[in-house]
Structures are given as structure tokens and as C-alpha cells.
Amino acid sequence: MTSEDKGVDVPAQRSAGDTASREVLLKVTGLQKHFPIKKGMLQRNAGAVKAVDGIDFEVRSGETLGVVGESGCGKSTMGRLITRLLEPTAGKIEFEGRDITHLGVGAMRPMRRDMQMIFQDPYSSLNPRHTIGTIVGAPFKLQGVTPDGGVRKEVQRLLEVVGLNPEHYNRYPHEFSGGQRQRIGIARALALNPKMVVADEPVSALDVSIQAQVVNLLDDLQSELGLTYVIIAHDLSVVRHVSDRIAVMYLGKIVELADRESLYRAPMHPYTKALLSAVPIPDPKRRSVKSERILLKGDVPSPISPPSGCRFHTRCWKATEVCKTQEPPLATLKTGHQVACHHPENAPDQVPGETVTAAAREAIQIVEVSKPEADDPEAGETAADGGTASPDTPEDSTKE
């Protein structure tokens, strides 16, 4: 997010090319997670929730991969799979070239130092009965590690790194605001000096005025500590300025994966185009310009029985007969830009000559929205996002 978006200073935008030459830290191939549905006294198998249904991607050392998509598309499940908090149904996960797909708890323990997770809800992810000193110091205990200078000193250093007062070591989570609690979660994640951090909706439970501070903190920590991030978010405005590349998920699949610039400038998947139409325009000169928002009319189908062919065809305004029957592969149609679509935007049609179905003509509603004035940045974010942020402490006073 820009200073125009949020009214705060943010680091300069990163260049996607910066990380392209770095080594691959995480490689995911054909990853699946199907949650079985059991029914009746005998707990018979009655199908499965196909939460993640065959995804491939890589994350390079030092880069940030943003993962976006609507609620229920499988983002959190993907995050828990790659950090091995969940056992995959199929596919392969490699970390630094090592196959970790089915490592047991014991074999994973040393790997846990290198991959950490930050959770969405800073209220429920911290044990209310533990002091923040105990919470942030817990990873040392779990790993049986004593840092130089002792746990207390290191925890206090970590609290300072994330912008909290080290003197608050003995305080309890309820004494902190939402933004401060998320900083505690970040300090805990950093304790063992990880290589990769998976942040699952790290700011969506926070007030919009505090979201930028936490995103900026993550960005600063990445530069200082050389971290690699996978940042999960349900809307594109959160990951916009911190991601090098962005993966868009829909019903358990990656439908588009591209360099940030390329994705925002010329999205290829109609679903991405619809998501982007809800993101505020960051250019202050164009803020008051009217723009069109694409409202997808249909509900998200069930991941228990996703639609045949392209999973998005039931909500897509470009769908043709081939979309109903043939699943489009995630193909590289431009350098650094992969898309799974028979009729992509901003690229040659992969199945030209097909006619749009009658249902597709009814699939969307175009709404003209006036973008808010430049001097009211936060109003813009809320309006365009449908006001999704929940109330929080009004100011995130750190180091009080």
C-alpha cells in the first residue's frame, strides 16, 4: 500500500527482477489437500472438501509471494500445508531442495526453525494466561535453544525489533491493542531467525489505520533480516506494495501467477480482473475518476463438488462451451505471467471463435463507482473493500 493509500510512510516499491535470480527456497508441485467428509454412525466416507486441489509454485529466497482469493478458496490450507502444520493428500513440498512432504513431527522439528507462521487473529493466537515474555520466548524452549545472553535478553531485543517496549516483558496479551498483539506474534515468529515466514491474513483483523503499520514492519524486517515471505490476504490492496509476485487462488487452484507489476497493469484471468476492480486507485490524480467495478453475481461454488472444466466458468462473463468441459492449464502466456484461462484478458484468445454462453451474459453486473477524494485515503480503502476491517483500538501506541 502506498503512502497515498494509507497516509503513512512506506518503503520504496520493490522490483520484481530483484529476486528472479535468487535460489528457490520453496517448491510446491501438484499439492492437494482433500478433507474427507464422514457420515453416519459408521463414519463412512461421503466425499471430500477439495480445499487445495493441485497447485504448483516456487518461492525464491528473499522474495514475497502474495496469495489472494475469496474466503474459502484454500489460502489458509495452502499456508498450513507448506509449513507442514497439515499433512498433504498428494503432491510434493521441497524446502531448500529437501523433500519435506511427509516428514514426521520429529524430523520436522529442526525444520521448524526455518519456517514460521504468523496468524490472522492476534486475539486468539496468543495464550491469555502467559506473559508476552513467555509467549515470545516459547520457541527457544520448544527447540531447546538458549540464545547468547539468555532468553530474557533475546526476547527483550525481539520486542524492540518489532517496535514494542522491552520493559513490557511481564505484561499479558489483554494489556495490548490489536496491532501490538500482532507485533508480539511477529516477534515470536522471528525468535528462531527463520528463513521463511508464512503470514496468514496478518492484518485483516486490524483496523485499517493500523494495517499499514504492521505491513510496513513486515517489509522493514524483510530488508533487515533477509526474510522470505508468503503473505496470504483476501484482497489485493493489502499485498499490492509488498509482493514481488502474486498468486490468485480460486476454489483450490491457482488461476493466475505473475510479477506484481504485470498482474496489476494487465491482469489476464477474468477473476483477477474482477478482484482488481474492487481495489482503490492509488494515483491521487485519478482518485476522483469514476471507475467500473465488476460484481460477480453468482455464489462461490462448493469445494466439495467444484464445477467441471474451468472452475470459474459458472461466474465468468467470458465462459464458452469449452470452459465447461476442459480445465485450462496454468500456462505461461507472457514472461513471468502464468494464467489458467481459455479466453484470457490482455493476451491472445486460446480458443478463438467460441461463443459466450447465455449464462455468461448474465454472470456479472458492472457498477460505476466514484473513487474517493485524494484527501480521504482511508475512506477509499474501506469503501472499496466493502468495509471489511473490524474495529480495533484507535491508535496503536507502541513503546508507551
Ligand X SMILES: Nc1ncnc2c1ncn2[C@@H]1O[C@H](COP(=O)(O)OP(=O)(O)OP(=O)(O)O)[C@@H](O)[C@H]1O
Closer to ligand X by Cβ: residue 30 or 36: 36
Q: Is residue 125 a contact residue for ligand X (CB under 6 A)?
A: no
Q: How far is the CB of 324 from ligand X (least distance, A)?
A: 22
| Residue number with CB closer to ligand X (71 or 335) | 71
Distance, in Å, from the CA atom of 357 to the CA atom of 349, rounded to the nearest integer, reads 16
Containing H/E element for 262?
helix 260-265
Of 86 and 347, nearer to ligand X (C-beta) is 86
Q: Contact with ligand X (CB under 6 A): which of 7, 35, 322, 374?
A: 35
**Residue 155 or 215: which CB sits closer to ligand X?**
215
Interactions with ligand X, residue window 215-254 (CB under 6 A): 234
> How would you class 72 by CB atoms within 10 Å of its CB: exposed for 0-12, middle for 13-18, buried for 19 or more?
middle
Minimum distance of ligand X from residue 68's CB (angstroms)? 9
| CA 384 to chain CA mean position, Å | 19
Nearest-angstrom CA–CA distance, 13 and 241 = 6
- Minimum separation from the CB atom of position 204 to ligand X (A): 8
Closest approach, Cβ 297 to ligand X, in A, equals 21
Host H or E run for residue 377: helix 377-385
Q: Which of residues 317-376 bind ligand X (CB under 6 A)?
A: none
Rounded-to-integer distance, Cα 76 and Cα 69, Å: 10
Taking the complex as a whole, how short is the minimal distance between the CB of residue 51 and ligand X, in angstroms? 3
Minimal distance, residue 286 CB to ligand X, in Å: 30
Number of residues that bind ligand X (CB under 6 A): 13
Least distance (Å) between residue 125 CB and ligand X? 14
- Give the contact letters, 88-117, x = binds to ligand X (CB under 6 A), - = no: ------------------------------
Task: Single out the residue of 25, 31, 49, 208 in contact with ligand X (rule: CB under 6 A).
Answer: 49
User: At closest approach, how far in Å is the CB of 25 from ligand X?
Assistant: 22
CB-nearer residue toward ligand X: 35 or 169 = 35
In this structure, which amino acid lies at residue 88?
P
Distance CA 159, CA 197 (A): 17
Question: Which CB atom, from 49 or from 117, has the smaller least distance to ligand X?
Answer: 49
Note whether 34 binds ligand X by CB under 6 A.
Answer: no
Helices in 86-233 by DSSP H: which ranges? 105-112, 132-143, 151-161, 178-190, 208-225
C-alpha cell at 120: 490472522
Cα distances (angstroms) measured from residue 341 to each of 102, 153, 264, 350 = 32, 53, 17, 8
Q: Cα–Cα distance between 50 and 67 in angstroms, integer?
A: 18
Q: Which is nearer to ligand X, 251 or 276 (CB)?
A: 251
Specify the residue, 32 or 177, whose C-beta has the smaller distance to ligand X: 32
| Residue 319 to residue 341: CA distance in whole angstroms | 10
* Residue 303 sits in the site that holds ligand X (CB under 6 A): yes
CB of 399 to ligand X, least distance (A): 32
**Cβ proximity to ligand X, 51 vs 238, nearer residue:** 51
- Distance between CA 30 and CA 20 in Å, rounded? 22
Residue closer to ligand X, measured from CB, 76 or 314: 76
Sheet of strand 24-39, all strands in order from the earlier edge strand to the far edge = 44-60, 24-39, 90-95, 98-99
**Crossing angle of the two packed helices 208-225 and 377-385, in degrees rounded to 10:** 100
From CA 31, how far away is CA 45, in angstroms rounded?
A: 21
Binding to ligand X in span 50-89, by CB under 6 A: 51, 69, 71-77
Residues 347 and 272: beta-carbon distance below 8 Å: no
User: Which chain residues interact with ligand X by CB under 6 A?
Assistant: 35, 49, 51, 69, 71-77, 234, 303
